[in-house]
Structure 1
Amino acid sequence: MNTTPAAEEPQERTVDLASLKVLAHPLRVQILERLSRHGAQTASSLAEVLGESSGATSYHLRQLAKHNFVREVAGKGTARERWWERPPGALNIPGRDLADDPAGREALRLVNREFEQLRGTALTDFMTHGIEELPAEWIGASSINTHHLHMTVEEMEESSRALEEATKRILAPYRADKRKPPENSRAVEVHLNSFPLVDGYRRDHS
């Protein structure tokens, strides 16, 4: 009899207003991002890397769990030292819908700002220190690209969706929920950005 558990299929989740308000705390965004990047952690290990007390990280983990942003790892840990993970699947935050509510708009600002700061810090750290601290083959395997274009909103929407679908297809075999990470693997972050330049919009409409 095969006792190997079936791989869990990632489920894309659309975040509602109530859940967004719960997520709208800097430490909660940091916890969620840490679990996304490095896998399951305990409140103590999160506290150590985030410079917080284990009581604080434990509290925020429980609040995140109430809205299914995180969950306990089944069969791992003890009553005193629980392990937490982020369920597989993308989070979809519908900014256009949530921005109609003043509280939603403020929560959206905070969550977006925290996520972007974390992404920016990771990229800056790589650009500043990667060449000194990473093996040459990892530097060579990396790719940082910027493309400057002029598009209509319809063209940008079409290209954004195509890029998103292609990225999901290309990266699917490497997801943690699909396989056990190889021993020689490292935590890797892939960014895909597609957005109109706000300063260009301001200039054209001034």
Structure 2
Amino acid sequence: MTEVRVNEVGDMVLTGAEAMRVLAEPVRLAITDRLTRHGAATTAELAEAVGVDDVVAHLERLTEVGLVTRDGDTWEACGRGIFFEIPEEGDEEVQQAARALSNAMLLSYEHLPRQWVEGTEPELELDWARSAGLFNAGMWLTAEELRKVQEDLEVLLMPYLQRKEPTPDSRRVRMLAYFLPPKSD
């Protein structure tokens, strides 16, 4: 079993290629997303949530790499989220696995903005509708500066990410941030 470390915000930190490859499979990613967002679930609940009849083999693979634990028929993620990086020079296997996981994650969430606009936004109270939205900016950055922006954003969000219990009038907000540099000319 691969050791998965949990960081200060409760994310499972992936550093090995095997765990990244296992999680890059869409059904396993959906299962893990369900468990990290909504907590423990039975096999039947997970099968219904991800739309697959037999999820046991997927759950067993997630358990093997240390992302999920089992207690009878109930499964639970080992952390509140996922953190990984594409490493610099060196381990090409980990680089490829991290890129595959990154791409799988980007594509697995592509439906969320449309789903929110069509199903949630029309029902929002004015205060929440005014607070929702999109940040879409183009800027000139080096690769190092882009990583720094991402790190600074994580630091900015840290108090909210570490919040264990909701405060009065708070809601669980989903924040998607895409960092999409173009290829070089």
Q: Which segments of 5 or more consecutive residues in structure 1 lack a partner in the other structure?
A: 1-7, 73-77
Counterparts in 2 of 1:34 and 1:83: CA distance versus 1, 3 Å: same
Q: Which residue of 2 aligns with 1:164?
A: 150
Cα distance in 2 for partners of 1:184, 1:43 equals 33
Q: Percent identity?
A: 22
Q: CA deviation at 1:144?
A: 0.7
The code of the aligned residue for 1:40 comes to: A
Q: Which residue of 1 aligns with 2:113?
A: 123
The code of the aligned residue for 2:64 comes to: K
1:38–1:187 CA contact under 8 A, matched in 2: no
Query: For residues 21-100 of structure 1, what are the structure 2 equivalents within 5 Å?
Result: 21-53=21-53, 56-72=54-70, 79=72, 81-88=73-80, 90-94=82-86, 100=92
Greater Cα shift, 136-145 or 163-172: 163-172
Q: CA deviation at 1:110?
A: 4.3
**Aligned residues, how many?**
178
Is 1:13 equivalent to 2:13 in the alignment?
yes
TM-score of the aligned structures, taking structure 2 as reference length: 0.75
The code of the aligned residue for 1:146 comes to: N
Cα distance in 1 for partners of 2:146, 2:98 equals 24
Cα distance in 1 for partners of 2:138, 2:121 equals 26
Q: Which residue of 1 aligns with 2:3?
A: none
The code of the aligned residue for 2:139 comes to: L
Partner residue of 1:149 out of 139, 146, 171: 139
Cα distance in 2 for partners of 1:147, 1:38 equals 31
TM-score of the aligned structures, taking structure 1 as reference length: 0.69
1:37–1:187 CA contact under 8 A, matched in 2: no
Larger of the two Rg values belongs to structure: 1
Q: CA deviation at 1:26?
A: 1.4
Cα distance in 2 for partners of 1:134, 1:64 equals 36
Counterparts in 2 of 1:47 and 1:93: CA distance versus 1, 3 Å: same
SS at match of 1:120: coil
Query: Which protein is richer in helix relative to its size?
Result: 1
